[in-house]
Amino acid sequence: MTLRSPLARVLGHGSAKEGVHHWWVQRLTSVALVPLTVWFVVSILSLPSLDHATVTAWLGQLWTAVFLILLVLTAAWHSQLGVRVVVEDYVHGSGMKTLTLTLVTFFHVVVAVAGVLAILKVALGGAA
């Protein structure tokens, strides 16, 4: 038996104060994806043709490469945040949840790094 009130017992055991941060980052990445995606679609549609030489020349421009890298990194981050929420909500078992979250994070890092390296390779003229 304890003399502590119900409120005193739960203080310090509630939210880890990370939910709001996660929510805000997910909203910020989604807002950032809107202009980046619009830019990407408009840029692709404004190319005279979609052959290899035209797309390589387009990607070789500095700002194109910068915006594409921002698009890839933001999309990977936003995706990781969304998948993380799904795993936290639907994977029940502490060990399985930790393993799944680790694999999800690793996968998104690999995808982001591969995307950035591919963009840099083409932009810097290393495409074969």
Tens digits of per-residue pLDDT, 3-16? 766 666 666 555 55
Residue 5 lies in a domain: no
Residue 9 lies in a domain: no
- The stretch 110-119 carries a mean pLDDT of 97
Q: What confidence score (pLDDT) does residue 21 get?
A: 86
Q: What is the DSSP string of 3-63?
A: -S-HHHHHTTSS--S-HHHHHHHHHHHHHHHHHHHHHHHHHHHHSS--SHHHHHHHHTSHH
Residue 110 lies in a domain: yes
Residue 7 lies in a domain: no
For residue 103, pLDDT beyond 60 = yes
Q: Which of 1-15, 16-30, 64-78 reaches the highest mean pLDDT? A: 64-78
CATH number at residue 92: 1.20.1300.10
Residue 2 lies in a domain: no
Range of the domain at 87: 29-123
State how far the Cα of 73 lies from the Cα of 66, in Å rounded to an integer.
11
The pTM score is 0.82
Residue 14 lies in a domain: no
Residue 51 lies in a domain: yes
Domain count, the chain: 1
Q: What confidence score (pLDDT) does residue 20 get?
A: 84
Tokens 């680790």 belong to 102
Residue 84 lies in a domain: yes
